[in-house]
């Protein structure tokens, strides 16, 4: 969903992390190696959870309609149609895949043409040195391979993966996002973000355990 | 899972307006009567050409029905939820198979014109055909044809009637029974389709053989039946009949399958070509030489571009698969190209003159075409437009692509 970025907004004052069982100092020191960090911990997002996908869906619609852009949903399984409720734009990944596929196609044609036609032509059962028919499986396979690599690595880089820590993991109940709870996180970097108003909006839609998480 | 997008509880149109249905059936019947007259004229003027033209038209229609039967069986076999609604249009298309049993009669009548290489007296002096005579003899040929047509009609009618029975009773047991029978049915379909392709098409040149031939014909039938399904769905949507029942999500999935099977068709066609080209043995390469020389080269290139390159590029994007216009245009192109594909398999038997289209070809196509339209119009007019009491209907109504 929305890729995580460091907040460029003026840093908000450090607040006690409500119910957070991982002290931010521990996280900071874990991130920056052994040395105790002096950087102030910042609020990443306001998080809470819903009991059903339906409630989460309505909350996403409410955030979208209120003009929020930097928020995310964390669910144990795919909730169909959630991307519409969140107002997400279509992914740019298909274009990366297309580029990968075209690269594989053009690259394999050049490879076959240069090695078989120019650099080291051979007479194989009387056929032309560069017989494109023989290489169509190669063109096909390399197109598919490069498109698959583009999909895989494109997805990872667009999601800024791999990473070993994300602030949303510090929510006390977050492990249940893989089990039975439907989480929502509204980033503090969202221009519409207001600690009180956002919290009130989410709470009015039935959110539980609302708290700010940070790093 | 609650997705408040589709609401299945609203009342919807479930069948065609009777006046419109009557008009459709009437038009198809009139076309069929006209086509019989045209066919007789064509057969009298140019008997040989008409025999081949009719075989092309007949196989074109039968393969669409076979592809549709394949997909009906696959939906039951996989217990698919998304496809419950479009399955009804596929079931209409399987009606082409009982019709094919009747439409085969002219093929049987012209069998000696079509298959004279091995049916006629010239077979006696041909040692290669003598070796194949245990399989390739007229009696066994007609027995096999009867078996194929009986199996196809039986399967198509049983699955159609069971599905219609469920419209009335809503009995969930029927869904399980259809799923259980779809597995042996699909084995029967695979075998009969392969051997029918050998018998009716490959034996036109009895010296030449290819083991992938059955799969090639199957790939054409799969892609053409999906094209027909896309056009039927779009036509119903356009009239506002399936409004709110079939959605862009169903269209998207039909588009995905159409795209995939377009690639499959090219993949199989190329596999056959590559092996023959690489082996370079004259008795095998003759098949492609006939189709790559003179006017036939044009037909071959039309196939490569019209049946693969153009639909492949047109349907590659998600937006295109979801667009009514692009999907409809690609489906119409593929359905037309499926005719060219069968033409490319059959007509080279006539030599170079086979490559030049003739009015007789139109007469050979219009008979099977109008019979097919009549069957589809009758099935569309005779009952609900989607399986109204299928236990997985709600799943299909709410279906979303992620």
Q: What is the pLDDT along chain B (402 residues), one digit of tens a residue?
A: 344 444 444 456 778 888 888 898 999 999 999 999 999 999 999 999 999 999 999 999 999 999 999 999 999 999 999 999 999 999 999 999 999 999 999 999 999 999 999 998 888 889 999 999 999 999 999 999 999 999 999 999 999 999 999 999 999 999 999 999 999 999 999 999 999 999 999 999 999 999 999 999 999 999 999 999 999 999 998 888 887 788 899 999 999 999 999 999 999 999 999 999 999 999 999 999 999 999 999 999 999 999 999 999 999 999 999 999 999 999 999 999 999 999 999 999 999 889 999 999 999 999 999 999 999 999 998 889 999 999 999 889 888 876
Identify the CA nearest to A106 among candidates A147, A166, A58. Answer: A147
Q: Do B274 and A125 touch (CB under 8 A)?
A: no
pLDDT in tens, A63-95: 999 999 999 999 999 988 898 899 998 889 999
Identify the CA nearest to B8 among candidates B401, B402, B390. Answer: B390
Give ipTM to 2 decimals: 0.81
Helices B96-109 and B359-381 cross at an angle (nearest 10°) of 150
Q: Do B4 and A79 touch (CB under 8 A)?
A: no
Angle at B61 between CA B389 and CA B202, to 5 degrees: 130
In B, minimum Cα distance to A94 occurs at: B317
- Between CA A204 and CA A196 the distance in angstroms is 12
- Between CA A208 and CA A212 the distance in angstroms is 13
Which uninterrupted H or E stretch holds B356?
none
Q: Do B400 and A52 touch (CB under 8 A)?
A: no
pTM for the full model?
A: 0.86
- The string of DSSP codes covering A99-146 is HHHHHHHHHHHHHHIIIIIIIS---BTTB-SS-HHHHHHHHHHHHHHH
For chain B positions 292-331, those within 8 Å of chain A (CB to CB) are: 316-318
Angle at A170 between CA A156 and CA A6, to 5 degrees: 55
Give percent helix, percent strand, percent coil of chain A, each to the nearest 5.
45, 15, 40
Q: Is B18 on the interface with A (CB under 8 A)?
A: no
In A, minimum Cα distance to B400 occurs at: A80
Of B2, B270, B278, the CB nearest to A53: B2
Tell me if the bond preceding A162 is cis, omega within 30° of 0: yes
What is the CA B201 to chain-centroid distance, rounded?
Answer: 15
DSSP state of A91: P
Q: For residue B274, list chain A residues with Cβ-Cβ distance below 8 A.
A: 133-134, 136-137
Q: Do A133 and B4 touch (CB under 8 A)?
A: no
């Amino acid at each position: 969903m929305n890729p995580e970025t460091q907040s460029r907004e003026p840093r908000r004052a450090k607040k006690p992390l409500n119910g957070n069982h991982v002290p931010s100092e521990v996280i900071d020191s874990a991130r920056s190696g052994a040395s105790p960090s002096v950087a102030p911990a910042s609020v990443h997002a306001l998080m809470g959870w819903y009991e059903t996908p339906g409630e989460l869906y309505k909350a996403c619609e409410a955030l979208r309609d209120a003009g929020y852009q930097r928020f995310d949903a964390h669910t144990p399984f795919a909730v169909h149609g959630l991307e519409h409720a969140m107002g997400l734009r279509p992914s740019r990944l298909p274009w990366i895949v297309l580029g990968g596929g075209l690269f594989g196609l053009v690259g394999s044609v050049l490879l076959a043409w240069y090695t078989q036609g120019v650099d080291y032509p051979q007479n194989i059962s009387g056929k032309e040195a560069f017989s494109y028919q023989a290489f169509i499986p190669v063109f096909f396979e390399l197109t598919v391979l490069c498109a698959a690599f583009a999909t895989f690595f494109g997805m990872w880089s667009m999601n800024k993966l791999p990473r070993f820590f994300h602030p949303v993991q510090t929510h006390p109940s977050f492990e249940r996002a893989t089990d039975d709870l439907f989480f929502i996180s509204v980033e503090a970097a969202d221009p519409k973000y207001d600690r009180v108003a956002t919290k009130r909006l989410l709470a009015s839609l039935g959110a539980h355990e609302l708290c700010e998480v940070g790093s | 899972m609650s997705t408040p997008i589709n609401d299945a509880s609203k009342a919807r149109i479930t069948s065609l307006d009777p006046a419109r249905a009557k008009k459709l059936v009437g038009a198809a019947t009139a076309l069929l009567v006209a086509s019989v007259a045209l066919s007789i004229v064509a057969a009298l003027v140019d008997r040989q050409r008409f025999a081949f033209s009719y075989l092309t038209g007949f196989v074109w229609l039968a393969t669409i029905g076979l592809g549709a039967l394949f997909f009906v069986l696959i939906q039951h076999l996989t217990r698919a939820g998304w496809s419950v609604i479009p399955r009804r249009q596929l079931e209409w298309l399987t009606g082409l198979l009982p019709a094919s049993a009747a439409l085969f009669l002219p093929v049987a009548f012209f069998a000696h014109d079509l298959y004279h290489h091995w049916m006629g007296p010239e077979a006696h002096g041909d040692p290669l055909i003598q070796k194949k005579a245990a399989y390739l003899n007229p009696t066994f040929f007609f027995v096999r044809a009867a078996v194929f047509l009986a199996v196809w009609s039986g399967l198509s009618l049983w699955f159609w009637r069971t599905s219609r029975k469920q419209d009335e009773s809503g009995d969930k047991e029927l869904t399980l029974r259809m799923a259980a029978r779809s597995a042996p049915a699909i084995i029967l379909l695979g075998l009969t389709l392969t051997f029918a392709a050998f018998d009716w098409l490959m034996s036109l040149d009895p010296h030449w053989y290819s083991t992938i031939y059955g799969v090639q014909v199957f790939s054409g039938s799969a892609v053409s039946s999906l094209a027909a399904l896309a056009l039927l769905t779009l036509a119903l949507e356009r009239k506002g009949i399936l409004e709110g029942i079939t959605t862009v999500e169903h269209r998207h999935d039909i588009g995905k399958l159409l795209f995939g099977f377009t690639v499959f068709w090219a993949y199989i066609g190329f596999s056959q070509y590559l092996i023959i080209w690489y082996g370079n043995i004259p008795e095998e390469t003759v098949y492609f030489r006939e189709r790559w020389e003179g006017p036939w080269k044009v037909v071959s290139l039309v196939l490569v571009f019209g049946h693969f390159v153009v639909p492949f590029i047109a349907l590659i994007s998600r937006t295109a698969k979801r667009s009514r216009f692009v999907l409809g245009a690609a489906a119409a192109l593929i359905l037309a190209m499926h005719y060219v594909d069968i033409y490319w398999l059959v007509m080279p038997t006539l030599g170079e003159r086979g490559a030049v289209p003739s009015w007789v070809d139109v007469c050979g196509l219009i008979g099977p075409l109008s019979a097919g339209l009549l069957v589809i119009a009758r099935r569309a007019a005779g009952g609900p437009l989607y399986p109204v009491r299928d236990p997985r209907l709600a799943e299909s109504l709410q279906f979303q692509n992620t």
